[in-house]
Structure 1
Amino acid sequence: MEWDGLELMDGLRLLENCYDRLAQVVKDEQADPKVITSLVDEAEQIVVLLNSILQRTPLEGEKEETLKTVKEKADAIVQLLQQEMGTIAEKYAQIKTGRQAVDAYYPQPVGLGYSEGKFVDRKE
């Protein structure tokens, strides 16, 4: 994306739009994880851009309100991502428990896989 000539309000709108898309993708069970990664990268680029703009220009009243709104959305996205990570951890624990149960029913072969008494020493 080209960011030259972008003003603070435009950047905040872009970030807000990116957060909205990210929230939709995270809530979608069938979403591609690469889309989430690309949206997070895009949001990081926008934040870096906004940081450079904020260092050049002081904030005004309306811009402060918009910035607070964007910050609230960012906090909501962080909470949503933390909830999703918790859900993933729970599902992983269930898979691990299920794998342990399967392994209990089908034990792995020990040694060479032969039971005792299979080999007989013969003297010739």
Structure 2
Amino acid sequence: MNGLVLAYLGDAYYELEIRRYLIESGITKLNELHKNKVKYASNESQASIINHFLETNILSEDEISAYKKGRNRTHNARKQMEMVTYQQATGFESLIGYLSLKDEPRCKYLIKLAIEFIKVR
């Protein structure tokens, strides 16, 4: 499947899981929910998460391949963002989209690790 299609799915899946996590954490004010969502789901956060996953060798070869499918297909970053950050974030979303279809328990596990990483960062 096309990496950008996987990223499209992964973006929605990851954001839903982050929103669920924040609400289950007891946050009820919309402004606070939004600020916290950005902390976990920004392109910068996603890029740092995928870099952490790659540095700690937590990903399988198939998962790295899914990441690269999204990262390598990205050509247009927003003006205020570095291209590399945008590519890494798109690759992260591609990985999440891939796992949401192939291995949902693994997907949820990696999202849990991502949340823990961002919490202590």
TM-score computed with the length of structure 2 as normaliser: 0.28
Q: Which has the higher helix share?
A: 2
Query: Which is higher, the Rg of structure 1 or of structure 2?
Result: 1
Q: Highest relative contact order (Cα 8 Å, sep 6+), 1 or 2?
A: 2
